[in-house]
Amino acid sequence: MADTATLSSKFQISIPKAVRDELGWKAGQSFVFVPKGKGVTLVPVPTLAELRGMARGADTADYRDRNDRF
């Protein structure tokens, strides 16, 4: 993936079709911009359905609550 895009006068960037297709990104999807030095990482915001079950099987034996904080 070495596609490029140009920032428009309205500060918009079109994500190249090859990138959208490879990553499975759809119109209307939300993203977060994470600054990294002189660049930025673009990360899709997961839906609640995608997050469901992600902690299944997590060990809660060493769970810390607010009483453990200083």
CATH code for the domain of 24: 2.10.260
Band (pLDDT 50/70/90 cuts) for residue 70 is low
Cα–Cα distance, 6 to 34 (Å, whole number): 19
CA dihedral 42, 43, 47, 48 (to 10 degrees): -140
| 45 Rama class: left (phi>0) / alpha (psi -120 to 50) / beta | beta
Query: Quick check: is 52 in a domain?
Result: no
Q: Which structural domain range is residue 6 located in?
A: 1-47
Cα–Cα distance, 1 to 68 (Å, whole number): 46
More confident residue, 63 or 37: 37
pLDDT at 35 over 90: yes
Cβ proximity of 29 and 50 under 8 Å: no
Band (pLDDT 50/70/90 cuts) for residue 69 is low
Query: Quick check: is 70 in a domain?
Result: no
Query: Quick check: is 3 in a domain?
Result: yes
Domain count, the chain: 1
What's the pTM value of the predicted model, to 2 decimals? 0.63
